[in-house]
Structure 1
Amino acid sequence: MSTGTIEELAARVHGTVTGPGDAGYDEARKVYNAMIDRKPAAVVRCAHAGDVIAAVDAARRNGLPLAVRGGSHSVPGYGTCDDGVVADLGGMRGVRVDPVRRTARVDGGATLADLNSAAHAFGLAVTGGIISTTGVGGLTLGGGFGYLSRKLGLTCDNLLSADVVTADGTLHVVSATEEPDLFWALRGGSGNFGVVTSFEFRLSPVKDVVAGPVLFELEHAEALLRRFREYIPEAPEDLGAFPGFQIAPPLPFIPADRHGDTFALAVLCWAGPPEDAEAAFRPLREVAPSVAEMVGPMPYPVINSAFDALLPPGLHHYWKGTYAEELTDGAIAAHLEHGPRVPTVNSTCHVYPINGACHRVAPDATAFAHRDATFATVIVGAGPDPADAPANTAWVRGYHAAIAPHSSDAGYVNFMSEDDQHRAPANYGASYDRLVQVKRTYDPGNLFRVNHNIVP
């Protein structure tokens, strides 16, 4: 991009435009995953939808890649690109809650922490993820599941409308009745169709929950996974529990002499009447005596941010993910072999349940096609030292290879790494062909290709 073009772009936007050689360029191009080091031609820090249109126009007219950055959590680094334009929505973080209609209008750069804080003031919530610094946009466009999925469905199931800037630089307001094909595609088709500058969500009454982590000795990991497999298909939908593996961080509720040890983990969250929480947790807690736990009543935003300190910006990340209808004996054996080898305190494996309300949505109602899956596994290799990245990556790849034969060939798009591009047709599943048709309508030149890409 020429200096003149950058100057023209800067003159058009209300936000800032930063290019190579400018003060603050290295900070402007930085993303959450420190393993990603790319050098865009221009970073547009957008103040509003008009700035987004300017960034889209600049990329299209100059034949440049366009990356869209919301919360910046994309593990493959899709929030940046080499020699292209970055539309950084990080300054667009407003949330407006209508407590009467129980809706929230959320700007495209808002994080879950922004949304949770605004909604919680009115005793309301929508399905979020596990880390509160996650961008609402990326989470929603990929589907979105977390503690409240079994009760409220996926994040995208609660999307009512969206403002989206498409590849031709026009703003569309889409919903179930306005441009329904594009609205359908946004709910699970990732960032392939445009830049969503505003989301409108349906909110539900959820204020305080009973929640927290429970650590078990590794010798009880098999019992925990088997009990989870048996219990979660029929568990009350207010329960949002998941198992995993975790190296104990130096937290006060964990005995000091166990800091740094590896444990089987159960994270519990009950969003129903608090007096019913103990009974709901009992099948998982009774598998063995706990080594440490911190379970109790808390505001929903607290549990949604409980793991933030383990995954701050600046770590070196590599992830893999899979779906499965069943947690088979073979899958459990693979977890028992690889989970205890978790290499750093920032690394983990979680097995999320995505049944309950998620299964009551028709498979073709949204672009999220995997309504037959009951479990979504994520394997996270992360740490602050770049020297550890090869070993962390090898652990993730070995773990994924071991569970793959016991899983579907698909995984959650938000858990993919850059070397998973070939999995796109499987990851979008039965929606893929229709997504291609929508892509041809709204982005025939594939301007929005810095993502888990659907090729028109």
Structure 2
Amino acid sequence: MAPLSKAGAALAALRDELSGEVYAPGDPGYDAARAGSRPAVIARCADPADVVRAVRFARDLDLPVAVGGAVGHGGVMVDLRRMRGVSVDPEARTVRVEGGATMSGLDRACRPYALAAPGAPDPATGVAGFVLGGGTGWLDRAFGLGVDGLRGVELVTADAELIRVGPQAHPELFWALHGGGGTFGVATALTLDLHELPEFTATLLLYRPEHGPEVVRAFREAVERGPDRLSGTLLYLTGPPGSAAGELMCGALVTYAGGAEALRETAAPLRALPVAGELPYAEALGLFDAPPGRRSLSSAECLTGLPDELVDVHCSLGERMPVPSGSLHLLFPQGGAVAAGPHDYPLPFRDAPWVAHPSARWADGCDDERARAWVREVRSGVAPWSTGAVPLDLIGDEGAERLRAGLGVGNLLRLEKVKRAYDPDDVFRFHHAIRPV
């Protein structure tokens, strides 16, 4: 870090200039704002001008920058939680979303107009990070990935310059933002396409684990024969409230971009099986939230298909999941608008019809090896059916090889050239960061 006198003067100036708040170690509020990391400075920005000031401060002191908790020790965390505005244009069917907005805010703003954008299952997920990482959720088969509807980005670059990026303005950077994530700058706002969605219906059907293979095959058949508006996920989980303590359950979360009657019709084969319980969608969503303070490790493998042999492997891996815990053993379909979407973007997982997504969550450090070993076991177990691709927004830092798998070798080289043009000093270098070639 720069000499203390220079750093102290720069920090004092930042405190004076920022419309939002500035936190450094030892300040009241620092521990509550640091999101599990130990940044040198947290800049809670109130507007794009604050983001420009924060990046300029970091550049002056040769410090790396990241948005939110992705920042490493000693970097500058740009906190956008004050920038949560969402503005819908119902006639154009577009929405402008500020960099700190969450999925719940986007949904609330769009719902009065019967419009929606593909979003993440967790309402607390940040829209910008979700979209720029590709974006997978329950509406993908109907409308495409989250990033497929990206119209434009307002971005603060490593040079502390606010630019507008779109198909005609900075087109190569616009391409890179379709899956390249937050490694090219700080997105202060996104403009997204919206889709008509008067109704959305979902339910979670629960079964005893011994019925797992039947459930998976019934869900597979419903997806393969049903419309693209049908989606959801298969999962193994620790039973919800009301079940026996620590009980392993198998579930089918069935979602439909439409009304309840259509959902009942498409889910009929699943209801014909011995259902042990059912949760409405609003209650089921809580199962996908990682409780604060929990340890976690997630990974993913894209699959070439879902043959019966893989069904049996998936279910046996689910029965070995650590329980009781908040862990989830997920298997969800793609296809539909995902496969039909634009193939020029750096998203090589688009053609995979199914994705396996083990997500271990546990409280006690004594369970570290058991939980992590299970995630590795799932990846190894489904490897014979893996396409080799991976949605990067579903995994942590798994090294350079997985980054290449998530972006594609040719795409990665092109992304590295974009990185060299816009961030040659590698200011934004956290969480699946692209290095300048």
**Bucket of the pairwise TM-score, normalised by the shorter protein:** over 0.9
Structure 1, residues 193-231: CA drift from partner, whole Å, max 9, x if none? 111110111111214322110011211211222333444
- Please state if 1:283 is matched with 2:282: no
Tell me if structure 2 keeps the 8 A contact 1:132–1:308: no
In the other structure, the counterpart of 1:228 is 219
Say which is worse superposed, 206-215 or 45-54, in terms of deviation: 206-215
Q: CA deviation at 1:394?
A: 2.2
Tell me if structure 1 keeps the 8 A contact 2:296–2:359: yes
- Cα separation, 1, equivalents of 2:313 and 2:66: 36
Query: Counterpart of 2:231 in 1: which secondary structure?
Result: coil
Structure 1 310/39 Cα, relative in aligned 2: closer, same or farther at 3 Å? Answer: closer
User: 1:161 aligned to 132, 152, 157, which one?
Assistant: 152
Query: Counterpart of 1:294 in 2: which secondary structure?
Result: strand
- Cα separation, 2, equivalents of 1:308 and 1:89: 26
- Cα separation, 1, equivalents of 2:127 and 2:262: 30
Query: Counterpart of 2:300 in 1: which secondary structure?
Result: strand
- Please state if 1:52 is matched with 2:37: no
Letter in 1 for 2:59: R
In the other structure, the counterpart of 1:416 is 395
Q: CA deviation at 1:3?
A: 2.2
User: 2:101 aligned to 87, 100, 110, which one?
Assistant: 110
Q: CA deviation at 1:310?
A: 4.5
Which structure has more relative contact order (CA 8 Å, sep 6+)? It is: 1
Structure 1 341/285 Cα, relative in aligned 2: closer, same or farther at 3 Å? Answer: same
Q: CA deviation at 1:271?
A: 1.3
Tell me if structure 2 keeps the 8 A contact 1:215–1:291: yes
Give me the identity figure in percent.
35
Letter in 2 for 1:132: P
Letter in 1 for 2:306: L
Q: CA deviation at 1:262?
A: 1.0
Structure 1, residues 223-263: CA drift from partner, whole Å, max 9, x if none? 2223334442442011122211111121xxxxx35453111
Structure 1 284/187 Cα, relative in aligned 2: closer, same or farther at 3 Å? Answer: farther
CA RMSD of aligned residues (A): 2.0
Structure 1, residues 289-330: CA drift from partner, whole Å, max 9, x if none? 1101135xx7xxx48x82367423322111111111212445
Structure 1 362/257 Cα, relative in aligned 2: closer, same or farther at 3 Å? Answer: closer
Letter in 2 for 1:423: R
User: 2:162 aligned to 162, 171, 190, which one?
Assistant: 171
Structure 1 257/58 Cα, relative in aligned 2: closer, same or farther at 3 Å? Answer: closer
Which residues in structure 2 correspond to 1:134-153 (within 5 Å)?
134-153=125-144
In the other structure, the counterpart of 1:335 is 314
- Please state if 1:432 is matched with 2:395: no
Query: Counterpart of 2:169 in 1: which secondary structure?
Result: coil
- Please state if 1:358 is matched with 2:343: no
Structure 1 167/5 Cα, relative in aligned 2: closer, same or farther at 3 Å? Answer: same
Letter in 1 for 2:185: G
Query: Counterpart of 1:167 in 2: which secondary structure?
Result: coil
* TM-score under structure 2 length normalisation: 0.92
* TM-score under structure 1 length normalisation: 0.89
- Please state if 1:30 is matched with 2:9: no
In the other structure, the counterpart of 2:279 is 294
Tell me if structure 2 keeps the 8 A contact 1:247–1:342: no
- Please state if 1:17 is matched with 2:27: no
Structure 2's unaligned 5+ residue stretches are: 2-6
